[in-house]
Every structure is written in C-alpha cells, then in structure tokens.
C-alpha cells in the first residue's frame, strides 16, 4: 500500500514545482519506517498526498484524500496528467525492432536497404537509369559509416530535412502505385538509429542539376517532436556551388561525393556489425542486382574490397501507373473517412470519382442495394449509410482493377539477372498474368536456376578465414549452415565429418591446420545432394531476407511437390539439390506481415498465383532433368557397349578369321546408331536439344563445357573480389 | 583375349581334326559368321539360345525322358542387360575353338582362367567367378548343340565304380574288380573315344548305384559286388555327367539293369528322377544320359517300421523339404505313378526323412547283408 501511494505522489510531483523537496523527505520516511508506528505514519503520508494534489490544478483532490478511498492506486486525474501525445519517432525509437533494427547486424542491412530502395524509386520515377554507390567503412569497434549515393534527380533544398529527418514523411503512402518504399519511415528511421547510437548527424548532399548548387545538410532528429534539427550552416544547411569551387569545398570538408550531374548521397554513422553470408548486405546487393537488371551497383565493403554489378540492360522498367483504390479493398472506416473528405459530391460522383472500376451503372447498382439515392450528398451520409454502402459494395459484382499499373521484371530480364549472379546450367522463368487480392492488383514472377557448384565450394582460403573470424555462430555446423546459402544440416555434417572436426567445435578456435582441413573438405565433399533449395524472395524488386518461415513465398515453395519435377524433397521442407528459385511479387500494395517488410502475408489469391508460377518453372526443370537423365543413360549405355565391342570383335576374328578392326569399326557404327540420343547432345547441344525438348520460351541453357566459370562460381566471384 | 591372340595365331600347331571336331568347328564358325554378317548389314548381332528352364522342358511319355522344348532366349549385343553375357558367349566360343585347334582339353576352371582378363580400357574383368563362366559354357553347349565333351571341356572327376567289368580308358585296360578300396574314378568324359566297353569283358548281372561315397565304401568293404555279381557305382550326391553317361552306356551297351539306393528324402527322389528321366538344366542331353528303366530300391518311407528302426535316426523335414517334395510329386513323370504318389505322401505324413546310413543303427552291415538282398529278392522297388 505504502509503496503505491508513493508512486502516485511521485507522478503528481512531476507537475508541481514543490516536488523535489517533498519527494526527498517522503523517501526518507519510507526507508526509516519501523513496523510499530505504522498507523501514524500512514496518516501523515495521506496528508501529504492531499497537500501536493491541492497544488495541482485539478479539483476533487479532497475527495481523494478521504480515508474511505485510501485503496485507490491512481485516479483519473493523476493518470490524465501523464497522458500525452506520443511522437512517431519516439514510438519507433523504442520499438526499433519493428523497423528492422533489432541487432547491429540487421541495422546495417536495413540502413543500406532503405537508402538503396529510396534511390532506386527516385531514379525510376525520374526516368534515370540508376547507378548506385554503396560504401561501408568501419570507424570504430562497432561503428560503421555507411554512404549511399545515387544518380537520381536530387531533392529540393527545403525537402531534404523533412525526408531524412522526419518519420512518416513521404510521397508513397497516399498513392496506390508500385514502388519499393511504402510508408516513408525507412530512411529517417535509419538516420534516427544512427544518431541515437553514435550521436553523429546524418549527412546529406543532394544536387538537382549541374549548374545549380548542391545542398549539404547535417541533420539530427528531435525525437520528441518528430522534427529534423539542422546542425550545419546555422540551421539552414550549406550550399555548395557547382564547378571547381564546389569540388574544392567538398574535398576540404571530407564529404564523399562521386561527381555526377545530379543525385543524392546520404551518409549515416551507426552502431553495426558487418558479416557476410546469409542475411548480409552482400546478399542483399546481389539479390537486388538480380531483381533489377537495369541497375548498376558499385559496392565498397569495409575490408576495402570492391564489387561491381553492371546492369544487364539499359532499358528502364516501364513507369508504374498510379491507380485509384478498388472498392473491394476499402475497409468501412476508410470508406467513411473518404465520404467525409468528399465535399459536396453526390454519392454516385463520389463512387465513380474515387474508386477504380466503378462506372455510373455500377454505382447505381451499389446505391440500389444500399438503398441510398444516387444523388444523396456524400457528406451528409451517416455511419449507418456508410455501413450499408460498404456491404452493398461487397455484394455488387465489380470488375477487377486494371492491372497495367504493375511492372513486372519480365521473363527475359529475370533470366539475364539470374544468369549474371547465380551460377547454373539451366534457367527458367515464368511471369504470371496479374491477379487481384482484396482489390489490390499484384503479379507473381518466378525464376529458377539449376546446377552450378554450391557457394561453399567456391570459397577461397582468405575468405574462409575472414568468415570464420566474423561469424558469431557457436558451432562449426551452425557456421556452415548460417553462412552459406543452400547448405543444409546434412551437407554441413558431411563436410565436418570429412574434415574430422567436431560438430560442436567453436569456429573461432580452429587451428590453421583445422581450417585448411575444413576448406579442403568444403571443396571436395559432394554436397549437391545435401543442398537445399535456395529461395530468393522479392517484393517490388526488393529482396526479403528474413523470416523465411513466415512468408507466403517460402510456404508455397515448400507446399509444392518438387518430386514430380525430378528433385528430392522430404515432406514439409524445401527440396534438395543445386537449385535457386527467385520469386517476385509486384503489387501496388504488397501485403507484408510487419513494418520491417520481411515476409509476405498469405492471401489465398497470392498463394494460388505462387503455386501456378512455381509449377510453370518446375515443369520446365522437370523436362530438362528428365532429358538430361536420358542423355546420361544413353551415354552410359554406349560406354557399356563400346567396352565390350573390342572383346567381341577379337573373339569373332579368332574364330572365323574375320578382320578384327573392320569388324570393330562396323560394330561401333551400329552402337552409335543405337545410342543416337547420346550423340545428339554430344555433337550439337543447343539446337537439337531445343528441337527435341519443347521447353517453350524463357529458358536458358548454359553449356557446362563452355562456361565453366558460371557453374563454378569461383572464377567469377573471386575475380570480382580481387579487382 | 586381345593380348593372347597373337601367340595363338603364331603357333600354328594345327592338329588333325576328327569328324566330330569338324562338326563342332563348323558350328563355331557359323556363330562367328553371324556376327560379321549382322555387323556389315548394320544390324544388331544376336544369338538365340534355347532356354534351359522348367518351362521349356517337356516330358515325353513315349520315350519316358525329359526333352527340351523350342523356347529360345534372344541374347543381343546391344541390350544393356545382355551385352556382357553376349561378349562372354563369344569369348567362350573362341576359347573352345582354340582348344579344338590344338587338340587339347581343359577343365571348366581351366577355361575360366584362359578367358579371364581385364577388359581393355575398363576396370572390369571378363569373368569374376567360375560360376559365371560355367553357365555361359552350358549356354554355348545348347547354342551349338554340341555337348561339353565336343567342346573339349571336362569337369572334375566325381563318382567311383567297382565290379566285375574290364574296360579300356585311353588305351589302358582297367579291371574294375581289382580297384582296392578306392575304386575306379569315373572320368567326366566317358565317350567311346575315351572309354571302351566290351560286353564280353563284363560278367556283372546288374548295376547298383548308391548315393554317396560313404555308403559305397560300406558296400565295397563287404565285397557286395563280388557276392551278388554286380557293378557298384556312386555319384557323390547328384551324379555328374560322367557318371550318368557311364550308367547310360553300361545300361544300353551291356544291357544291365540299374537299381538305386538313395536317401529317403526329396533330394534322393530327385537324384533318382535325374538318373531316370534326365535333368531340367541338361534336358538337351537326356537322350544320351537318361535311363528310363532305372529302379528305385530304397530307402522307402515304410522302412522305418518295416526295418524296425530306432527313433533316433529320424531327421525332421524342414519347410524346404516339404516344398520340394510337393514340387516333385507334381512333376509329370511322377504325377501318374500311384506308388510314387503314396511314397511321397507317406514321407510327408511321417514328417521325417531317413538316410541310408540310418540302417547302420541296426547293424554295420545290415544294408549290404540284409536290406538290399531282401529287396532284390522280393523285387520290391519303385519304378
């Protein structure tokens, strides 16, 4: 009891000037209190409460102080005193995990992701072929400086602080249009995280055109008010003049800026951790390159390594159209508020004007069902009417929204992108026709790459050492599974067994000899069987790297029966084999399961399209694998025959004196005729294969003999790293 | 093979071929020519081998022997499962040709070693076990319709004989009544070119064939053949071809009846069946080997009670025995014989089998002094 009273008093004290003194006193009393004189003291306390409350502006304090209501912990009034606005920035500062800042590792990724996504959106909206520079630099033990620059249109001076220094400020939330960003939280949240963890301001430099000055800002975020605080140029930012003078200034102030006509560079210093492998920045950039074949990426990692992902096309994706919401996708509350906003319109005008696919005849039908006159004034409709209208909409047949607002990557570019980044010998892609969930149009695309060595087999000694040093995995097995894509536990066990390491051995404590053994077995153990399928999930061209299990895409992949396509798969798990599958969902509004945009929610319509897309590429893979199997069998057959032909011809010539070599030649000819299928592929792979195997469009077959480096990632990746 | 061919081609020590060898040689050459012909016509070479299975034998009630049917198995070179067998067939044929050419004979194992080598450019042997070679040899026999002897092959000697007969083996005169305790080992090839039989030099009245060497020892030690004036043979279990051919020749050429003393179990019945009608596997040789007039003297299922045997000599029938007995009862050459049907039924109802040696429990020489003479006197046998 006593304690409770204390708390109440403390709270009220906050608002009164006399608080500090009294609080102190009371504390002392509470501490010194001995059990016997309890009653007296309680009385005293009560009086004090009353006193302090009488100082507060509320009345009715007297009643509170009455002995009968002693048991109340807090009153409406005292509680009201502490009830106040919560700023968005405060909320997200506390709940940073909602935005993907749960741990330093993820924070780094999220920061880069948000910045790159914004850059790409801006470039595409402005019709510029995006070129992006990503630079990560370690500034201290757990501090990293991240710089991301684009060649986009740049940002107007007065908008810069708002975009980067205010949460929930942006252009994308209120419109229905396919874009990477949706809410307008991302980059400002990243900046806030940086400011909070390191105290260093966010630095933004943006340039609109060659002749105009570049704007340079150093920002901090006032989390209480969700407002940007400009630190440089006496709160106004600095303009850097164009030309020689400007570049001198840039050099002098140590601002990183790759000279471009226009563009924006944001630099954030934050507490982070850089690792490679699964869920890393490297992986994100790689997948971004796959999903955005028109983008050129330059990446400078903290170890000084550079990697370039050149664009494989110079055609920008078509500009996505903005659409009006579809009536099916609108909730009652939203409908009511829309009605209120629509000033002085008739219901019919309102419906046709603010929704897509509502023609006057459709609106008439809706109104009939809702029993509302089509000419009723929309602002005068009450809640009940809105409710009736809502139900009428659900009951009326309205055609699906137009789907031309969605820009898929396209099968051709998926193939190109996959081929550029994922090694393999067979690629297939399928773009489903657009469909609709809850009134939102969406489109599913699936790409598949088969073959190629597992990433684990292409690790160099130095890279492995680095990876071993970086990892926070506790056991070697965990290290292998977490670091390398597509490595299942089976494969990891196989490797560890071969290298004679204990599964529970700590990866950071390996001796050089053990490391060498590990590397050796990683290269030599055949893990393509133990590999599980690598699933790349993308939403509006943005890679999703976390929460695999919760995502509708992963669930659909697991739910699909891959055994009929020639892969092995145990129930309830991903199929096995050297396969990568890329699934892209494009929509004006991708239904994520959370703000951090990590998993797609499973609407039945989406699940259906996913299934059909997966089946489309699966069928092609199945045909390819069966074909390959047949070829292999034929080759085996021929080998068997050829092996025995010499024996047969020798024996025959011994019996009847026939010429051994002539007979052999003749028999070989017959053997070749009998195993013609094997020949066909051996001689003229591409052409004849296509004739025989009608795989349809959008399939890419790489001749393993010709492009060794594609299948064995070694040369390609390592080469890039060394550059 | 490839590595050996130059040497054989070089040493042209051709022996003059007998007419039989010439016939065999023609068959071999025909086989090889078929391959060349197929190859030059760009067709798949193949051989049709008469099948040696139960489904391809039929019992001729008139001749009372098992004969081979007309079913054939095609063995193709360009068939994944048959390619190796085809190659082996050709190898065996070429091996036999070499033997013929040089006028030599070799054992089955000898031929196996002659043909065994690693295939060029592969880590594979032409043969890995002798068994693989033996079946191919049997295939070749039926394929060329030449018996093993004609291919200059022989098996290990098995079986022995003793009795009032004198024969000539490769020019050596052998008096079978003077063979001591071991007897005359019956060679695997007993064709007239090697073993000559003469009616005049045979004084025996009948042939007694026993199953095993041990029982044969008993009869020999007791000089049974002397007392009863017979020829005593054994085949060490299932009699090999040499023994069967010998019995056949003695039966036909010397007109001697044959009586068999075998164990009372399905195995013993089958040995009798093979001697009498020929075997399924070598159905093509029945004509030369089977002795339809052979009689089954014992042991019989009734002997347990008839001879008043001790309980301890019984051997329980196991599942395979029972299955086998039922199979044998269904063979066409047993099916219509009442005495045999009741004999097998009796054994099954007894639920035990008896070995010839079990008679020793009565007295060491009970079988020679009492059992067989009594049966012969009573003409108590199964046909």
A112 in the same domain as A51: no
What average pLDDT score do residues B363-381 get?
85
Tally Cβ neighbours within 10 Å of residue A94: 11
Same domain, A546 and A677: yes
- Average pLDDT (B260-283) is 86
Cβ <8 Å between A655 and B124: no
Q: Is residue A515 domain-shared with residue A544, that is, in the same domain?
A: no
Report phi then psi at B159, rounded to 5. 90, 155
Q: Can you tell me the distance from the alpha carbon of B372 to that of B367, in angstroms, rounded to the nearest whole number?
A: 6
pLDDT above 70 coverage of chain B, percent: 96
Residue with tokens 């400078």: A300
- Considering the domain architecture, whether residues A13 and A45 belong to the same structural domain is answered as yes
Is residue A315 situated within a structural domain?
no
Mapping DSSP to helix (H, G, I), strand (E, B) and coil, where does residue A49 land?
helix
State the pairing for strand pair A579-587/A534-539.
parallel
Mean pLDDT is lowest, of A401-410, A669-678, B99-108, B234-243, for A669-678
Instruction: Find the domain containing A498 and state its range.
Output: 459-524
- The contact set of A with B (CB < 8 A) is 637, 640-641, 643-648, 650-656, 658, 663, 666-667, 669-671, 673-674
Q: Which of B86, B113, B259, B331 is catalytic?
A: B113
Same domain, A281 and A382: no
In the structure, what pLDDT confidence band is assigned to residue A3 with cuts at 50, 70 and 90?
very low
* B77/A647 Cβ within 8 A: no
Closest residue on chain B to A658 (Cα): B36
Q: Are residues A481 and A558 in the same domain?
A: no
Contacts of B6 in chain A (CB under 8 A): none
Which of B324, B329, B208 shows the shortest CA–CA distance to B275?
B208
Question: Which among A643, A650, A666 is the nearest to B1, CB-wise?
Answer: A650
- Give the domain-ending residue among A283, A309, A335: A309
C-beta atoms of A643 and B119 within 8 A: yes
CA distance B378 to B381: 9
Residue A701 DSSP one-character state: E
Residue A319 resides in a domain: no
On whether both A573 and A615 belong to a single domain, the answer is yes
- When CB atoms are compared, the residue of A651, A667, A674 closest to B1 is A651
Q: Which residues of B touch A654 (CB under 8 A)?
A: 1, 5, 8-9, 94, 97-98
> Among the three residues A524, A545, A561, which one is the final residue of a domain in this structure?
A524
Boundary (domain end) residue, out of A472, A492, A524: A524
- C-alpha B300/C-alpha B23 separation (Å) is 46
| Structural domain total, chain A | 5
At residue A698, does pLDDT exceed 80? no
Residue B259 has phi, psi (to 5 degrees) of -125, 140
Residue A317 in any domain: the answer is no
In chain B, residues with a C-beta closer than 8 Å to the C-beta of A644 are 77, 83-84, 86-87, 119
What is the rounded average pLDDT of the residues A368-389?
Answer: 83
**Does the distance separating the beta carbons of B126 and A666 come in below 8 Å?**
no
CA distance A263 to A316: 17
As for the ipTM of the complex, it is 0.71
Indicate whether A339 and A482 sit together in one domain. Answer: no
Partners of residue A269 on adjacent β-strands? A145
Contact state of A647 with B78 under an 8 Å Cβ cutoff? no
Residue with tokens 């996505």: A320
Q: Chain A residue closest to B101 (CA)? A: A655
The pLDDT, as a whole number, for residue A15 is: 43
| pLDDT (average), residues B77-94 | 84
Q: What is the pLDDT of residue B15?
A: 67
Which residues of B define the annotated binding site for Mg(2+)? 211, 263
What is residue A486's predicted lDDT score, i.e. its pLDDT?
A: 64
CATH number at residue A463: 1.10.8.50
Average pLDDT rounded to a whole number, residues B250-270? 88
Here the tokens at position A505 are: 């051995």
Annotated active-site residue B113? The verdict is yes
B43/A670 CB distance under 8 A: yes
Task: Give the mean model confidence (pLDDT) for residues A17-22.
Answer: 44
Q: How many CB pairs under 8 A join A and B?
A: 96
Rounded CA-CA distance A454/A472 in Å is 22
Interchain proximity B42–A673, CB inside 8 Å? yes
Label the pairing between strands B160-163 and B295-298. unpaired
- Residue A19 inside a domain? The answer is yes
Average pLDDT, chain A: 77
The CATH number linked to A208 is: 3.30.565.10
| A102 located within any domain | yes
> Which residues, at least 6 apart from A509, have a Cβ–Cβ distance to it below 8 Å?
none
Choose between A403 and A146: higher pLDDT: A146
- Evaluate whether residue A8 is within a structural domain: yes
Residues A549 and A470 in one domain: no
Q: Are residues A570 and A473 in the same domain?
A: no
Sequence length of chain B is: 383
Q: Which residues contact residue A397 at a Cβ distance below 8 angstroms, ignoring those fewer than 6 apart?
A: none
Contact in structure between A580 and A449 (CB atoms under 8 Å): yes
Assess whether A232 and A108 both reside in one domain. yes
Is residue A22 in some structural domain?
yes
Residue A173 has φ and ψ, to the nearest 5°, of -70, -40
Instruction: Kindly state the tokens that stand for B289.
Output: 């080997």
pLDDT at B44: 81
Within a domain: residue A314?
A: no
The per-residue pLDDT for range A127-139, each reduced to its tens digit, is: 889 999 999 999 8
How far apart CA A720 and CA A718 sit, in angstroms, is: 5
Distance between CA atoms of residues A387 and A372, nearest Å: 11
Give the residue-averaged pLDDT of B236-251: 87
| pLDDT at res. A69 | 55
Check residue A9 and give its pLDDT. 44
Query: Min CA distance, B369 vs chain A (Å)?
Result: 57
pLDDT at A10 over 50: no
The sign of the torsion formed by the CA atoms of B135, B136, B137, B141 equals positive
A182-191, A294-303, B88-97: range with lowest mean pLDDT: A182-191
Residue A527, pLDDT score:
66
Residues A405-449: pLDDT tens digits?
888 888 888 888 888 777 788 889 999 988 888 878 889 999 998
Residues A344 and A469 in one domain: no
Cβ–Cβ < 8 Å for A241, A213 = yes
pLDDT in tens, A60-92: 444 444 455 567 788 888 888 888 777 777 887
Q: Which domains are delineated in chain B?
A: 5-154 (1.10.10.10), 160-378 (3.40.1360.10)
Residue B114, min C-alpha distance to chain A (Å)? 13
């Amino acid at each position: 009891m006593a304690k409770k009273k204390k708390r109440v008093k403390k709270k009220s004290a906050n608002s009164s000037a006399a608080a500090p003194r009294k609080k102190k006193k009371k504390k002392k009393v509470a501490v010194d209190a001995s059990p016997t004189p309890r009653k007296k003291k309680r009385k005293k306390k009560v009086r004090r409460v009353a006193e302090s409350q009488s100082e507060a502006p509320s009345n009715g304090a007297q009643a509170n102080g009455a002995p009968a209501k002693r048991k109340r912990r807090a009153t409406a009034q005292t509680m009201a005193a502490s009830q106040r606005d919560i700023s968005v920035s405060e909320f997200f500062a506390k709940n940073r995990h909602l935005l993907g800042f749960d741990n330093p590792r993820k924070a780094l990724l999220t920061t880069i992701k948000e910045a790159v996504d914004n850059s790409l959106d801006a470039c595409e909206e402005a019709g510029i072929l995006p070129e992006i520079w990503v630079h990560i630099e370690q500034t201290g033990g757990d501090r990293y400086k991240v710089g991301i620059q684009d060649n986009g249109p740049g940002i107007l001076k007065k908008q810069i602080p708002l975009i980067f220094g205010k949460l929930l400020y942006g252009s994308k939330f209120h419109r229905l249009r396919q874009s990477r960003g949706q809410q307008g939280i991302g980059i400002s949240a990243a900046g806030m995280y940086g400011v909070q963890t390191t105290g260093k301001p966010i630095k933004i430099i943006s340039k609109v055109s060659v002749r105009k000055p570049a704007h340079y800002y150093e920002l901090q975020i006032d989390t209480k008010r969700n407002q940007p605080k400009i630190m440089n140029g006496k709160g106004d930012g600095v303009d850097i003049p164009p030309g020689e003078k400007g570049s001198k200034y840039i050099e002098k102030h140590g601002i990183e800026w790759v000279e471009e006509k226009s563009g924006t560079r944001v630099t954030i210093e934050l507490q982070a951790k850089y690792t490679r492998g699964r869920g890393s920045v490297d992986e994100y950039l790689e997948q971004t390159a796959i999903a955005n074949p028109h983008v050129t990426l330059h990446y400078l990692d903290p170890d000084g390594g550079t990697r370039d992902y050149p664009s494989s096309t110079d055609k920008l994706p078509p500009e996505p159209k903005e659409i009006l919401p579809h009536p099916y996708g609108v909730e009652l509350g939203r409908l009511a508020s829309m009605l209120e906003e629509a000033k002085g319109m008739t219901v019919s005008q309102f419906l046709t004007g603010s929704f897509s696919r509502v023609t006057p005849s459709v609106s008439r039908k809706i109104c009939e069902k809702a029993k509302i006159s089509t000419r009723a004034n929309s602002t005068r409709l009450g809640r009940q009417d809105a409710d009736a209208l809502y139900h009428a909409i659900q009951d009326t047949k309205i055609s699906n929204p137009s789907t031309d607002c969605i820009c898929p990557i396209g099968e051709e570019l998926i193939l190109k992108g996959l081929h550029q980044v994922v090694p393999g010998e067979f690629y297939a892609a399928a773009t489903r026709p657009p469909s609709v969930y809850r009134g939102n149009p969406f489109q599913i695309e699936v790409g598949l790459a088969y073959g190629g060595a597992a990433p684990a087999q292409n690790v160099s000694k130095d890279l492995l050492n680095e990876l071993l040093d970086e990892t926070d995995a506790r056991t070697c097995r965990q290290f292998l599974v977490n670091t390398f894509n597509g490595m299942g536990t089976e494969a990891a066990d196989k490797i560890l067994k071969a290298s004679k390491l204990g599964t529970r051995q700590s990866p950071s404590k390996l001796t050089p000899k053990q490391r060498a053994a590990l590397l050796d077995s990683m290269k030599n153990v055949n893990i393509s069987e133990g590999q599980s399928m690598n699933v790349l999930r993308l939403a509006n061209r943005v890679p999703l790297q976390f929460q695999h299990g919760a995502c509708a895409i992963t669930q659909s992949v697991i739910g699909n029966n891959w055994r009929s396509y020639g892969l092995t798969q145990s129930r309830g798990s991903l199929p096995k084999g050297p396969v990568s599958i890329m699934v892209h969902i494009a929509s004006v509004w991708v239904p994520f399961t959370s703000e951090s945009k990590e998993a797609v929610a499973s609407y039945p319509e989406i699940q259906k399209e996913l299934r059909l897309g997966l089946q489309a590429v699966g069928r092609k893979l199945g045909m390819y694998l069966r074909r390959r199997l047949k070829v292999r069998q034929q080759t085996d057959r021929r080998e068997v025959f050829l092996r025995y032909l010499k024996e047969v011809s020798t024996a025959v010539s011994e019996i009847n004196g026939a010429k051994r070599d002539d007979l052999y030649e003749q028999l070989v000819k017959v053997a070749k005729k009998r195993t013609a299928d094997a020949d066909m592929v051996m001689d003229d792979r591409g052409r004849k294969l296509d004739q025989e195997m009608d795989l349809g469009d959008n399939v890419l077959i790489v001749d393993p003999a010709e492009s060794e480096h594609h299948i064995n990632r070694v040369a390609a990746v390592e080469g890039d790293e060394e550059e | 093979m490839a590595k050996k061919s130059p040497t054989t081609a070089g040493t042209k020590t051709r022996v003059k071929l007998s007419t039989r060898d010439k016939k065999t040689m023609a068959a071999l050459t025909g086989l090889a020519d078929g391959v060349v012909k197929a190859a030059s016509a760009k067709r798949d070479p193949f051989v049709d081998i008469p099948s040696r299975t139960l489904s391809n034998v039929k019992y001729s009630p008139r001749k009372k022997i098992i004969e081979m049917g007309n079913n054939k198995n095609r063995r193709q070179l360009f068939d994944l499962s048959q390619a190796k067998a085809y190659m082996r067939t050709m190898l065996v044929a070429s091996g036999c040709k070499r033997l013929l050419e040089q006028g030599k004979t070799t054992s089955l194992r000898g031929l196996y070693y002659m043909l065994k080598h690693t295939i060029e450019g592969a880590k594979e042997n032409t043969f890995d076990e002798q068994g693989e070679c033996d079946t191919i040899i049997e295939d070749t026999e039926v394929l060329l319709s030449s018996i093993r002897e004609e291919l200059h092959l022989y098996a290990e000697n098995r079986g022995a004989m003793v009795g009032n007969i004198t024969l000539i083996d490769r020019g050596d005169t052998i008096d079978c009544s003077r063979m001591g305790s071991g007897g005359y080992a019956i060679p695997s090839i007993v064709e007239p070119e090697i073993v000559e039989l003469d009616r005049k030099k045979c004084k025996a009245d009948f042939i007694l064939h026993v199953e095993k060497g041990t029982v044969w020892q008993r009869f020999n030690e007791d000089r049974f053949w002397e007392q009863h004036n017979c020829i005593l043979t054994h085949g060490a279990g299932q009699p090999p071809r040499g023994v069967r051919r010998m019995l056949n020749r003695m039966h036909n050429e010397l007109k001697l009846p044959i009586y068999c003393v075998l164990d009372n179990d399905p195995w013993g019945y089958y040995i009798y069946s093979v001697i009498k009608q020929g075997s399924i596997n070598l159905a093509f040789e029945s004509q030369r080997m089977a002795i339809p007039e052979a009689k089954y003297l014992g042991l019989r299922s009734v002997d347990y009670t008839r001879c008043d045997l001790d309980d301890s000599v019984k051997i329980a029938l196991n599942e395979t025995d029972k299955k086998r007995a039922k199979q044998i009862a269904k063979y066409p050459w047993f099916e219509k014989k009442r005495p045999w049907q009741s004999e097998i039924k009796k054994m099954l109802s007894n639920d035990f089998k008896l070995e010839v040696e079990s008679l020793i429990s009565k007295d060491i020489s009970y079988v020679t002094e009492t059992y067989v003479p009594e049966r012969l006197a009573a003409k108590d046998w199964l046909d």
